[in-house]
Amino acid sequence: MLIGQFLKNQSKLIISLSVLLGFSALVFFATENTYNTIESISVWVREVFGQYYLILGLFCVLLLIILAISPFGRTRIGKSEDRPEFSNWSWVAMLYSTGMGAGILLRAVQEPVYMYLNPPVEVKTGDKILALEYTFYQWGFTAWAFYGLFALIIGFHIYSRNKPSLSSSAFDEILKNRFALVAIDILVIVTTVFGLIAAIGLGTTQITGGMEHLISKPLGFGTAVSFTILICTIAFVSVWKGIDKGIKRISNINIAVALLLLVFVFSQGKMAQLMSDFMFASGNYIIDLIPMSLALGNFDPGDAFLTDWTYYYWAFWLAWAPFTGIFIARISKGRTIRQFLLGVLLIPSLG
């Protein structure tokens, strides 16, 4: 009786664990075949749905801007008397740290160099500005628009309408089928875990690669495992301590270290030139946002580039949107929709 009740109450957890364990077994016992199958499916999805990704991305950016500047932007996430729980500094630190993480530290250096050496399109501004422009595009407004729209929907339902903190709560008035709602939550759980695995894997690879470059010596598999355990332990402790004592503190430290790194870069380079290039590329990015977002005219880099880069990034941001969106909604309670949307779109994109 008790077991049956438990199975009924924890059906989402049990099904999600079963899917994840089954997938883990496939990866363990048939690593190469599983990888090849996943890669083939990934490429097929990007080739078939890639254009829809582009349209969806631009739609999300424009929609959030319209909502922010409209009278609706004065509405608070939560009750009218609610006020922000976290300071602007901590809020921005948590947005930046949870949304991008270690990936941007590598890509901020690697991607502009790659784009400079392999320009995706030809424009009059020159390859250097174009390289920065495409890097801003692939890590900027669109990624945060995906996060922001999901966070707004979830935050409004949880804090303004007192719905459960589940992704399916955004659909419970549209979908009356209980199994469909359960399927949505299971899909979010599974994709979130996949996204976390990918992020940890990429982060560990970056750390290991950096260490190997510094000491000019290859590091073994054990080192990668050790870094993985360390990262997971820090993440576990931060979550266990809660947002205020865990995630917020680590995010504040993280953003402080990032700013120190920025100061170091400025001190070692030509600051005036760096700022000039940054401002020029940022202005071009805003001007060219629509043709870049839809791959129109001179900003059509071809199917190969789109599949390998833009479609891949958009799929990655969308996979992360449920997990990141719920967290952003949690830390944004009490802010007006205008503060929330402009903050989510602009501040992390500038980072």
pLDDT at 208 over 80: yes
From 307, 292, 215, select the one nearest 58 (Cα to Cα): 292
pLDDT-based confidence at residue 3 (cuts at 50, 70, 90):
low
pLDDT at 9 over 60: no
Averaged pLDDT, 94-111: 74
Averaged pLDDT, 103-122: 83
Averaged pLDDT, 125-147: 90
pLDDT-based confidence at residue 284 (cuts at 50, 70, 90):
very high
pLDDT-based confidence at residue 66 (cuts at 50, 70, 90):
very high
- Average pLDDT over the chain, rounded to whole? 83
pLDDT-based confidence at residue 102 (cuts at 50, 70, 90):
low
Cα separation, 169 vs 163, in Å, equals 6
In the chain, domain spans: 54-350
User: Which phi and psi angles does 336 have, rounded to 5°?
Assistant: -70, 155
pLDDT-based confidence at residue 287 (cuts at 50, 70, 90):
very high
Sequence-distant (6+) residues with CB within 8 A of 102 are: 199, 202, 203, 206, 207
pLDDT at 209 over 90: no
